[in-house]
Amino acid sequence: MSTASDASFWDRSSQKYAKSPISDQAGYECTLERTRALLKPDDRVLELGCGTGTTALRLASEVESYLATDISSGMIAIAEEKRTASPIAGLAFRAATAEALASEPARFDAVLGFNYLHLVRDLPGTLRSIHTLLAPGGLFISKTACLGDMNLLIRLALPLARAIGKAPYVSVFRAPDLKQLISAAGFEILNTESHASRGKDSRPFIMARRN
Ligand X SMILES: C[S@@+](CC[C@H](N)C(=O)[O-])C[C@H]1O[C@@H](n2cnc3c(N)ncnc32)[C@H](O)[C@@H]1O
Q: Which residues form the interface with ligand X (CB under 6 A)? A: 3, 6, 10, 48-51, 54, 70-72, 75, 97, 114-116, 119-120
Compute the least distance from the CB of residue 65 to ligand X, in Å: 19
Nearer to ligand X by Cβ, of 155 and 188: the residue is 155
**Could you give phi then psi for residue 101, rounded to 5 degrees?**
-65, -35
Compute the least distance from the CB of residue 91 to ligand X, in Å: 15
Nearer to ligand X by Cβ, of 116 and 187: the residue is 116
Nearer to ligand X by Cβ, of 88 and 100: the residue is 100
Task: Give the 3-state DSSP-derived string for the chain, with helices as H, strands as E and coil as C.
Answer: CCHHHHHHHHHHHHHHHHHCCCCCHHHHHHHHHHHHHHCCCCCEEEEECCCCCHHHHHHHHHCCEEEEEECCHHHHHHHHHHHHHCCCCCEEEEECCHHHHHCCCCCEEEEEEECCHHHCCCHHHHHHHHHHHEEEEEEEEEECCCHHHCCHHHHHHHHHHHHCCCCCCCCCCCHHHHHHHHHHCCEEEEEEECCCCCCCCCCCEEEEEEC
Nearer to ligand X by Cβ, of 66 and 116: the residue is 116
Compute the least distance from the CB of residue 18 to ligand X, in Å: 10
Compute the least distance from the CB of residue 152 to ligand X, in Å: 21
Q: For residue 26, give the amino acid letter.
A: A
Compute the least distance from the CB of residue 114 to ligand X, in Å: 4
Nearer to ligand X by Cβ, of 17 and 186: the residue is 17
Compute the least distance from the CB of residue 28 to ligand X, in Å: 8
The whole-angstrom distance between residue 183's C-alpha and the CA centroid of its chain comes to 18
Nearer to ligand X by Cβ, of 136 and 204: the residue is 204
Beta strands across the sheet bearing 65-70: 91-95, 65-70, 44-48, 108-114, 134-143, 205-210, 187-193
